[in-house]
Amino acid sequence: MEYKNLLVAISCSDADVKVLEQAAVFTQALNASLTVIHVNDPRAGKVHAMMDSIPRNEEDDIRKHLDNLGFDALASSITVIAAEGQHYPEVIARTAADYDMLIIGHRRKSKMMASLTDSTDERVADLAHNCVMLVPLD
């Protein structure tokens, strides 16, 4: 299988550095195209009575985030998808179906937490029908 179209899922946090580093390496090594996806919660950017608003990240915000992390060349040359959905794994897996490989970060959980629930990346991997690369964030 040829890996020419890569998708990298980011959370718009500092943890994205490791995931983006790996995505850049694979993109260059495979001479592939790269697309970045970030999924916004439907409540993002809306005022909540009990807590601070969750930030909403649109395409320009995502490009600025990449630039701030030191990926300025990447920020100006790639496709960016600012998606929305309450079930992040489903949105990411559905989008990933159009790509050869998905690159996503993985944060280890304690044994107790791991026994109670899957992480977002584990749910994505369960739903995906293509190659998924998990990048350790810890």
pLDDT band at 122 (very low <50, low <70, confident <90, very high): confident
* For residue 115, pLDDT beyond 60: no
Which residue range is the domain that position 67 belongs to?
Answer: 5-136
CATH of the domain at 112: 3.40.50.620
pLDDT tens for each residue of 51-66: 667 788 999 999 999 9
**Virtual CA dihedral for 20, 10, 72, 69, nearest 10 degrees?**
-80
* For residue 48, pLDDT beyond 80: no
In this prediction, residues 112-123 reach a mean pLDDT of 65
Please give the pLDDT value at position 112: 61
How many structural domains compose the chain?
1
95-98: long-range contacts, CB 8 A cutoff, minimum separation 24: 95/7, 95/37, 96/7, 96/9, 96/124, 96/128, 96/130, 96/132, 97/128, 97/129, 97/130, 98/5, 98/7
Mean pLDDT of the chain: 87
Q: Which two tokens stand for residue 12?
A: 């718009």
Of the candidate ranges 75-79, 83-87, 93-97, 120-124, the one whose mean pLDDT is the lowest: 120-124
pLDDT tens for each residue of 19-44: 999 999 999 999 999 999 999 988 76
User: What is the percentage of the chain residues whose pLDDT exceeds 70?
Assistant: 86
